[in-house]
Amino acid sequence: MSETPTSWIWADAASGGVKGARLDAAADVIEWVDQPGCACGNDVQRQRVGDFLESGPFETAPPDVLAELRAAVSSIDSAAHRR
């Protein structure tokens, strides 16, 4: 059985840097990170999973990242309901 990913990183052409997302299932949030790993403070926005599903992402992310993130949310939600 493969493990569900809970973090993603992608190139951000607009800034010339990178952006990322981290799913914290226990806290029911997605953390959108601007320039992860940078010594400049890592700007993080927290978004409730329900808001993400209803309103869409806080950050512009590639379609494959958003698809994986939605699948991860669904997978974790399904596992919680099986308990």
Residue 82 has pLDDT above 60, yes or no: no
For residues 19 and 8, is the Cβ–Cβ distance under 8 A? Answer: no
Grouping H, G, I as helix, E, B as strand and the rest as coil, residue 57 is coil
Amino acid 38: pLDDT? 65
- The pTM score is 0.80
What pLDDT, on a 0 to 100 scale, did the predictor assign at position 1?
43
Structure confidence at residue 83 as a pLDDT band (50, 70, 90): very low
pLDDT band per the 50, 70, 90 thresholds, residue 79: low
Judged by DSSP in three states, 41 sits in coil
Structure tokens belonging to residue 4 = 């569900």
